[in-house]
């Protein structure tokens, strides 16, 4: 038998694999330690730079109001809002702007074109104090991210 024929015969059989659960729509980013009100989040929101943290506070308060099952914690240096233990949104401040981010942003409907980023799952909205944004559309994105995460948690049970 030639070497070529031996190699062809020794190839392993291909087995079908179910990859349906690996898509961005099915994955939840879970964090342990979230609680109804985290003092570390409150401390961060009241920190400096005051103008940017005040802007971040406005949007984080809206995240808190999404439902009774919203919890929060600090993760990677910024406040994160969760449905139970599944993260749905965050705020963060930078030198000249605030990000309102979504852990499932890639699947959110964004008719106003506010979302930025090209990651597999995450997207964010960049806010600057001097720049007016469509606040209603951003509020709808926060609510949609909460509802999407809540529904996926229910499906996971």
- CA distances in angstroms from 6 to 11, 107, 136, listed in the order given: 9, 48, 66
The matching CATH number, chosen from 3.90.1150.200, 3.30.1950.10, 1.20.120.1200, 3.40.50.1820, for 28-156 is: 3.90.1150.200
Q: Compute the chain's Rg from CA coordinates.
A: 21
The stretch 59-78 carries a mean pLDDT of 97
Q: What is the per-residue pLDDT for 157?
A: 76
DSSP letter at 19 equals -
Neighbours of 4 (CB within 10 A): 8
CA angle 62, 133, 80 (to 5 degrees): 35
The answer, as to whether pTM is greater than 0.85, is no
32: pLDDT strictly greater than 90 = yes
**Nearest residue to 80 via CA among 30, 128, 120, 116:** 30
Q: List the domain boundaries for the chain.
A: 28-156
Residue 4 dihedral angles phi and psi, to the nearest 5°: -60, -45
15: pLDDT strictly greater than 80 = no
Query: When comparing pLDDT for 17 and 81, which is higher?
Result: 81
| Contacts of 34 by beta carbon, 8 Å cutoff, 6+ apart | 71, 72, 73, 80, 82, 84, 85
């Amino acid at each position: 038998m030639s070497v070529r024929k031996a190699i062809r015969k020794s190839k392993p059989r291909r087995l079908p694999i179910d990859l349906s659960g690996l898509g961005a729509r099915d994955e939840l980013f879970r964090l342990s330690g979230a609680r109804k009100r985290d003092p570390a989040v409150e401390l961060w929101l009241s920190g400096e730079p005051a103008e940017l943290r005040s802007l971040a506070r406005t949007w984080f308060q809206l995240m808190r109001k999404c439902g009774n099952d919203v919890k929060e914690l600090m993760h990677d240096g910024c406040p994160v809002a969760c449905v139970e233990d599944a993260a749905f949104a965050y705020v963060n401040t930078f030198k000249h702007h605030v990000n309102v981010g979504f852990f499932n942003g890639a699947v959110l409907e964004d008719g106003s074109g506010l979302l930025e980023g090209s990651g597999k799952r995450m997207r964010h909205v960049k806010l600057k104090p001097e720049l007016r944004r469509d606040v209603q559309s951003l509020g709808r994105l926060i609510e949609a991210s909460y509802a999407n995460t809540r529904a996926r948690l229910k499906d996971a049970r």
